[in-house]
Amino acid sequence: MREIILDTETTGLSPNDGHRIIEIGCVELFNCVPTGRTFQCYINPERDVPPQSTAITGLTTEFLKPFPVFSKVVDDFLDFIQDDQLVIHNAKFDLTFLNFELSRLGLAVLPQSRAVDTLLIARQKFPGSPASLDALCKRFNVDLGKRNKHGALLDSELLAIVYLELLGGRQRTLAMESSRDGPAAETVEIGTKHVKRAARIFEIFDEEAKAHKEFLGQIKNPLWSQY
């Protein structure tokens, strides 16, 4: 399944107040794994960038002036996202801005139903806890590196990791997937291609099995003993 992690940076909080998009960043996922394909563009908002926005994004009016306006990048943007599911943190915010720009050009808007909102997932999974992207990165021990400004592509890359964790981590089910011919195949990334190879089988020695049994014996009231 193809999904697109999406984030925008803007000059302010609402297009109804005259604010515009200044950056779009997207990361392509295939079966919840980044493929390496991304989309990123800076956009001339055709207005000044307020100091509050510059403080968050590091983007200034002067920096953005040479870049194309939204109408010049919209085709490339729509070609990248295609008709696939969007994954957005606080989807209502980003879709409001994107749909404002699309409507101005007479183009079809992006329905809210098309987006998976990771903010809502986090609030349902961790009620009462902070659910910002920064807070979730800290919860899941995602390395923020030297990030001190918001950037649409960087935030999309971080959200891709957080999204996988919100879904339950790399192994999303309790049962390992297996092939008809034997053990589960291992998927290896080669560039942007996914190649399956036969799973490796590791022999368990008697000493290891004994040590494992002794370790399990030290666990008080294990969950599996209740069944």
Calpha distance 148→58 (Å, rounded): 9
Q: How are beta strands 21-30 and 2-10 bridged, if at all?
A: antiparallel
Which tokens belong to 57?
Answer: 């994004």
What is the C-alpha separation between 118 and 103, in angstroms, rounded?
25
- C-alpha to C-alpha distance for 130 and 34, rounded to whole angstroms: 26
Q: What are phi and psi of 63, to 5 degrees?
A: -65, -40
* Cβ contacts of 53 within 8 Å, gap of 6 or more: 9, 10, 11, 12, 22, 59
| Side-chain-facing half-sphere of 85: CA atoms under 13 Å | 13
**Cα–Cα nearest to 110, from 122, 100, 125:** 100
Assess whether 150 carries a catalytic annotation.
Answer: yes
Q: Are 59 and 65 in contact (CB under 8 A)?
A: no
Q: Which among 19, 89, 150, 194 is annotated as catalytic?
A: 150
Which residues face 34 on adjacent strands?
29
- Which residues carry out catalysis? 150
